Structures are given as structure tokens and as C-alpha cells.
Amino acid sequence: MRDRYKAGQLEREGRRRTIANGKSRFIRRQVGFSLVFFATLMSLLYFFSGRTRSNLIACLAVLPVGILGGYLEARWRWRDITKEEAGSRY
């Protein structure tokens, strides 16, 4: 019982810290993680699937889609974080 209370308290503290740091920082960090992940994934796929021009074009075309996905996910997660914080106040 006590551990569950402590976990909930730490989770609320993390949400408050994230909100205090700001929306733009949160979104930049999530997009940065997405950029690193997709750049690594696309470079590995390019080198291990054969280095042809069509593979390079496909990897370069998918990279912006991954970054856009990271941006949209960050916005959705931010909305969820702010809703949870507003709900926990009452």
C-alpha cells in the first residue's frame, strides 16, 4: 500500500516537473529522440539491405515521416500529461 502511494507521488512530481520545464522543451526532446531513432534505423536498413540508390531515396523519404510522427506523438503526450495533472488537482 505504501509503495503504491509513493509511486503515485513520484509520478505526480514527474508530471509537475515536466510541465514546469515547458511544452516546447518537451516537444523538442521527443522530436530529438525520434530523429536519433529513425536516423539510426534508416542508416542500418540502408547499409544492411544493399546500398542502392533506390534504398537511399526510400530511407531519406521515410526519415521526415518519422520526425513528423515524433512531433505528433509529443503533442499528444503533452495533452495527456496536462489533462492528468489537471485531473489530479481535484
pLDDT at position 90: 53
pLDDT by residue, tens only, the chain of 90 residues: 677 788 888 888 988 998 999 999 999 999 999 999 999 999 998 889 888 888 889 888 999 999 999 999 999 999 999 988 887 665
pLDDT at position 12: 87
Which of 6, 30, 38 has the alpha carbon at shortest distance from 81? 30
Looking at the 3D structure of the chain, how many domains does it have? 1
Q: Which domain holds residue 19?
A: 2-88
Cell numbers found for residue 52: 542502392
Distance (Å, rounded) from C-alpha 89 to C-alpha 15?
A: 12
pLDDT at position 31: 95
| Radius of gyration, CA atoms only, the chain | 18
